[in-house]
Amino acid sequence: MQATVHRFDADACAGSVLRDDGIEIPFDADALAGSGLRLLRSGQRVTVELDADRITALRIIGIGDEQRIR
């Protein structure tokens, strides 16, 4: 699913994203660590991987396994 970074706390490595339907989903440091990313910025578009309603990883659109730049 694609989303937009809403908040990101670099010290805690946690924040939240907004789905395209406007629903905010928080993520924790484990989700960021599972992504291989170090920093995010508000407004950045990402693809999120979910397990139930928990974000397990975030990917920058166009970078990563089977990701095409659109």
Structure confidence by residue, pLDDT tens digits, 7-35: 999 999 999 999 999 999 999 999 988 78
Tally of CA atoms within 13 A in the half-sphere of 13 that contains its CB? 12
Residue in this structure with the two tokens 């993520």, named with its chain if needed: 27
Q: How confident is the model at residue 37 (pLDDT cuts 50, 70, 90)?
A: confident
Instruction: Examine residue 48 and state whether it is found in any structural domain, yes or no.
Output: yes
Instruction: Examine residue 40 and state whether it is found in any structural domain, yes or no.
Output: yes
Instruction: Examine residue 70 and state whether it is found in any structural domain, yes or no.
Output: no
Three-class DSSP category at 31 = helix
The total domain count for the chain is 1
CB atoms within 10 A of CB 60: 15
The per-residue b/e assignment along 38-52, b for 16 or more CB within 10 angstroms, e otherwise, is: eebeeebebbbeeee
